[in-house]
Structure 1
Amino acid sequence: MTVPLILVVLIAVMYSCGIFLLLERSLTRVLLGFLLLGNATNILLLMAGGPSGRAPVTDGKNFSTEGMNDPLPQALILTAIVITFGISAFLLAMIYRSWRLARADEIQDDTDDVLLAESAASEAELDVEFGEAAGDDDTEFGDEAEDAVEGAPDIDDDGTPAQRARNARKKETGAR
């Protein structure tokens, strides 16, 4: 079976444009990118089904598989169409709701997420500054393995790695 080169190029262009549009901050562009990805996938599955013009099932008289296409890619295309339709309807509802509430379909940064990311980055910088690595534990299971049992004693009495890092930071800031 030979694959037409134009279909391969078309699929590549549709996938690349779809991924580019998915990475935008506009919900309308995300919807268009998702539709492009869905259609590119349908064409890819159609090409996998075999050459065009063949019947996917027999006529009931001749049970030979000679001259038949594989019916599985056609069933997968129908499933992909339904999934694309459902997700597109959901995205359209999100776009409509966003437009009604904010008169914009641009995705804004959540301030709580930004603050959380900044605090996580600053904690990672403190750990590097004090020479603590993420894998510094007393055993191969780590100190947090003791927390799996409620009320279990801390065997080495030095706390969890997070508690030790906080105590080290308190000592450093208190000493200054």
Structure 2
Amino acid sequence: MEAVLAVVVGIFFAAAIYLILSKYIVRILLGVAILGNAVNLLLFTSGRLTREVPPIIAEGIDALPAGAANPLPQALILTAIVISFSFFAFLLVLTYRAYQDLKTDNTDDMRIAEPIKDPLPPLGY
């Protein structure tokens, strides 16, 4: 099962990189979302896929019982979910604002900038 998930993680990373290298912002956003899911699946797979007892430590015991699940990958996945969601929300707002101002989602068209006009009229000296 871990080999299948490793292949899926590779496919997710490849698709994310392909979409991020696109020149359209909507594709870039989809690539960032897929990249976040690929990282989460990678962390999930690295934490082993065996069914083990929850990592609950009873009173008076100093260490995890034998055969307990590792809580670190679970904590990392929760953190990665929050970070990727907030990053995606920021990029979504940034993209929407750029589309409102520039009327395009093509990054090549966004690079063409108009010259800044002088807001003050020249002095009549």
TM-score scaled to structure 1, two decimals? 0.56
**What percent of counterpart residues are identical?**
36
Is the alpha carbon distance of 1:31 and 1:56 closer, same or farther for their aligned partners in structure 2, counting shifts above 3 Å?
farther
| Aligned twin of 2:25 | 27
Cα distance per residue 1:76-118 (max 9 Å; x no partner): 1111111101110011101211222222211136358xxxxxx
In 2, are the aligned partners of 1:27 and 1:91 still within 8 Å (CA)?
no
| Aligned twin of 2:99 | 99
Is the alpha carbon distance of 1:17 and 1:60 closer, same or farther for their aligned partners in structure 2, counting shifts above 3 Å?
same
Is the alpha carbon distance of 1:56 and 1:47 closer, same or farther for their aligned partners in structure 2, counting shifts above 3 Å?
farther
Aligned CA-pair RMSD:
2.0
Matches within 5 A, 1:72-151: 72-108=72-108, 110-111=111-112
CA-CA distance at 1:38 after TM superposition: 0.8
CA-CA distance at 1:45 after TM superposition: 0.5
| Aligned twin of 2:53 | 55
TM-score scaled to structure 2, two decimals? 0.76
CA-CA distance at 1:42 after TM superposition: 0.6
What is the count of residue pairs matched by the alignment?
Answer: 110
Large movers: runs of 4+ above 4 Å: 61-64
> Comparing both chains, which one has the higher relative contact order based on Cα–Cα distances under 8 Å and sequence gaps of 6 or more?
2
Structure 1, unmatched stretches of 5+, are 113-176
In 2, are the aligned partners of 1:51 and 1:69 still within 8 Å (CA)?
no
Aligned-partner Cα distance in 1 for 2:79–2:56: 22
